Structure 1
Amino acid sequence: MNIHHLQQLHNHQPMTMKMDSMRKRERNKGMEKERLQVMDLSGMSLDSLPKPALDLATICKLDLSNNNLQDIPESLTARLLNMEVLDVRSNQLKSLPNSIGCLSKLKVLNVSGNFIESLPKTIENCRALEELNANFNKLSKLPDTIGFELINLKKLSVNSNKLVFLPSSTSHLTSLKVLDARLNCLRSLPEDLENLINLETLNVSQNFQYLETLPYSIGLLLSLVELDVSYNKIKTLPESIGCLKNLKKLSVEGNPLVCPSMEVVEQGLHVVMEFMQHKMNSSGERPAKKRWWMMKMVKCGTFNKQVRGGKRPEHEGYNMLKHQKINGLASPGFMGMLSPLRFFSSPRHSFG
């Protein structure tokens, strides 16, 4: 073998070793994935959990739905280290174990159709969680700081409970796309909704005699496609709804609406939007609260301020900003400082 061939072999060897190393890592990942198990114990009329034949750390999905379970042992969830999906819907559960916070890889949690009155605060440690379904329970409140840690949550379903309010931290769920809080006892929504930059569907219908107003910040949900506020006690929609340029569906039936009138509503969404925009852009005198809100919107650049004859007419030349997503922010507190919409926040709802 001549020197030229030896040199070629020497140059080729590091690349071959690198490729072998990559293949080995891929094989290991594949073997680890195959090692993980799905355990289905649904619909077996279980009153308690049998001793599992599998190593709990190998379970990635556990389906315990449609049984008669009254509790989940703390020791069980503490050992489900690779759990990604936990389904315990339609049982007799009154609470969840605090060790639920050990499920650092959990992406989907379904606890619907139980008798749960509150979620453990430790659920905030499930930072990989993308979907939380707690429909049809007896929840009267959510953990106060739930929105500060569940930064990957995309869908929050808490319909058919007894919720009186949503915690202010809800507005920090920046990945949230769907919020379903219908059929509760909601008296209000958080005033500072501006950080829900990805929210596409908001359903707060059927809170009946409790929900009478919507916050002005609803006009800053620039990704919103569907808004359902039907069957409440709302008399006036916020003018800011005229800012929702991506809105495709607005449900307001079953409310004692005065503004806009039902005659306007019956003409379709585009007429409602034009009505709200016109009302927002009108130069008539506004209550102090509305003037304050409009000034914040101007500071955020939501409106183009046109100058004519050296004077600035009030909010003339309505124009929406292009919405840009904000990715990779380390903490909700820091995120709130960076958001250009932070001016909208009220001191009463600020968090240190």
Structure 2
Amino acid sequence: MGIQVKSCSTKEELKKEMAHNLDLSGMSLDSLPNPPINLSIITKLDLSNNNLESIPESLTARLLNVAVLDVRSNQLKSLPNSIGCLSKLKVLNVSGNLLESLPKTIEDCRALEELNVNFNKLAKLPDTIGFELTNLKRLSMNSNKLAFLPYSTSHMTSLKHLDARLNSLRSLPDGLENLIRLETLNVSQNFQFLSSIPYSVGLLISLTELDISYNRIGVLPESIGCLTKLRKFRAEGNPLVSPPMEVVQEGADAVREYLSVKMSTANSIGAKKKKTWVGKLAKLGTFSSSRMHSRSIREKDEHDGLMMPDYRPIEGLATPTRYLGRLFSPRRLFSPSPRRDSSRK
């Protein structure tokens, strides 16, 4: 009896789910019919693999409860502005269309967690898209014509997967270190356009996969040595000199170790240079105005051949305001210059 009740319950749930899902995929539709159902109850709408060139504004505006909208593989040249009415939308797939831009109203879909715009003709994204879509976890935009990603991308703090391969990216946005949950970053195959990646990539503390293959990158930032969770790294097809390709071919651990050592070496050299300069400044008496101290230093330097024997310390050099005060005094600067004797002309 209990099994029978469970079976009935499953059938009811299945029937309810089917009533909330509308599948019109693969029907070679050129336009959308007016469905004889209440669109406000639809939670998933699949319009993929058709020949749609547009989606009516009125249709989108009635999808008040839709959470998944799939319109991939159509002939869409634009999305309706009313897409901003989809306040419960979590997944939007518009890949494989002819889109050259996204409507700014897409920023109003603040529940969006997954956005797929692969295989379109996008030249740019809305400038402020990242400020609004802070719940986005997966952003796929490969195979477009993007030259830059907006700065606001670095504010998508929930982002876990970012795929921007096969574009024309010249650079990556500032502030990437804000993407503390990012696990996968793919900026491969931007070919001759992408010649460097920012230092902030090494501050992506959750990054496990990084693909920069087939670009024009010659030097990796040393900060990548700090990516302790990095497990997969691809960089073939780049003119890399640091680290060299033989290190890259050994895998992510070898790359991380190489760059960590390079960073440590650079820090130690920097500290040594700083210490050397401090010593030189001390030798020259910069940190002391004592004449006796200057004289002893001068005698030592003469012995070492660093100064001319007839060197004499200038009084007040350690406190230059005495000299500069006379040189740039108000009386000297603003007093009228003496007139020349006209008889000398």
Q: TM-score, normalised by structure 2?
A: 0.72
Question: 3-state DSSP class of the match of 2:43?
Answer: strand
8 Å Cα contact 1:191/1:216 also seen in 2: no
Instruction: Give the whole-Å Cα distance in 2 for the aligned partners of 1:211 and 1:46.
Output: 40
Counterpart position of 2:314: none
State whether structure 2 residue 178 is matched by structure 1 residue 195. yes
State whether structure 2 residue 109 is matched by structure 1 residue 126. yes
State whether structure 2 residue 235 is matched by structure 1 residue 239. no
8 Å Cα contact 1:36/1:60 also seen in 2: no
The CA deviation at 1:265 is 1.5
Question: 3-state DSSP class of the match of 1:80?
Answer: coil
Counterpart position of 1:96: 79
8 Å Cα contact 1:35/1:58 also seen in 2: no
Identity %: 74
After superposition, give the CA deviation of every residue in 1:283-317 in whole Å (9 maximum; x if it has no partner).
Answer: 2359xxxxxxxxxxxxxxxxxxxxxxxxxxxxxxx
Counterpart position of 2:144: 161
8 Å Cα contact 2:233/2:251 also seen in 1: no
Counterpart position of 2:269: 284
Instruction: Give the whole-Å Cα distance in 2 for the aligned partners of 1:150 and 1:269.
Output: 31
Counterpart position of 2:90: 107
* Aligned partner letter, 2:137: K
After superposition, give the CA deviation of every residue in 1:218-256 in whole Å (9 maximum; x if it has no partner).
Answer: 011000000000000000001000010100011000000
252, 276, 288: which is aligned to 2:235? Answer: 252
44, 52, 61: which is aligned to 2:44? Answer: 61
Counterpart position of 1:179: 162
After superposition, give the CA deviation of every residue in 1:137-187 in whole Å (9 maximum; x if it has no partner).
Answer: 000000000111111100000000000010000000011000000000000
* Aligned partner letter, 2:247: V
Instruction: Give the whole-Å Cα distance in 2 for the aligned partners of 1:220 and 1:66.
Output: 40
- Gaps (5+ residues) in structure 1? 1-29, 287-352
Instruction: Give the whole-Å Cα distance in 1 for the aligned partners of 2:250 and 2:216.
Output: 21
Question: 3-state DSSP class of the match of 1:209?
Answer: helix
Instruction: Give the whole-Å Cα distance in 1 for the aligned partners of 2:262 and 2:51.
Output: 55
* Aligned partner letter, 2:80: P
Instruction: Give the whole-Å Cα distance in 1 for the aligned partners of 2:240 and 2:36.
Output: 59
Question: 3-state DSSP class of the match of 1:284?
Answer: helix
Instruction: Give the whole-Å Cα distance in 2 for the aligned partners of 1:36 and 1:149.
Output: 32
Q: 1:34 to 1:208 in 2, by over 3 A?
A: closer
3, 20, 26: which is aligned to 1:43? Answer: 26
8 Å Cα contact 1:93/1:115 also seen in 2: yes
Question: 3-state DSSP class of the match of 2:53?
Answer: coil
Question: 3-state DSSP class of the match of 1:194?
Answer: helix
Count of residues in Structure 1 that have an aligned counterpart in Structure 2: 257
The CA deviation at 1:269 is 2.0
State whether structure 2 residue 128 is matched by structure 1 residue 145. yes
The CA deviation at 1:268 is 2.5
| Structure that is richer in helix per residue | 2
Higher relative contact order (CA 8 A, sep 6+): 1
The CA deviation at 1:35 is 9.0
* Aligned partner letter, 1:139: L
Instruction: Give the whole-Å Cα distance in 2 for the aligned partners of 1:239 and 1:34.
Output: 52
The CA deviation at 1:271 is 1.6
Instruction: Give the whole-Å Cα distance in 2 for the aligned partners of 1:130 and 1:36.
Output: 24
8 Å Cα contact 2:188/2:215 also seen in 1: yes
The CA deviation at 1:191 is 2.0
> Which structure: larger Rg?
2
Instruction: Give the whole-Å Cα distance in 2 for the aligned partners of 1:218 and 1:231.
Output: 18
Question: 3-state DSSP class of the match of 1:253?
Answer: coil
* Aligned partner letter, 1:284: I
Q: TM-score, normalised by structure 1?
A: 0.71
Counterpart position of 1:217: 200
After superposition, give the CA deviation of every residue in 1:101-150 in whole Å (9 maximum; x if it has no partner).
Answer: 00000000000000000000100100110100000000000000011111
Instruction: Give the whole-Å Cα distance in 1 for the aligned partners of 2:242 and 2:164.
Output: 24
Residues 3-14 of structure 1 aligned to structure 2 (within 5 Å): none
State whether structure 2 residue 290 is matched by structure 1 residue 271. no
Instruction: Give the whole-Å Cα distance in 2 for the aligned partners of 1:63 and 1:268.
Output: 41
- Gaps (5+ residues) in structure 2? 1-12, 272-345
The CA deviation at 1:63 is 0.4
Instruction: Give the whole-Å Cα distance in 2 for the aligned partners of 1:211 and 1:274.
Output: 24
8 Å Cα contact 2:122/2:144 also seen in 1: yes
Instruction: Give the whole-Å Cα distance in 2 for the aligned partners of 1:145 and 1:91.
Output: 27
Q: 1:263 to 1:53 in 2, by over 3 A?
A: same
Question: 3-state DSSP class of the match of 1:132?
Answer: strand
Counterpart position of 2:338: none
Q: 1:35 to 1:89 in 2, by over 3 A?
A: closer
Counterpart position of 2:60: 77
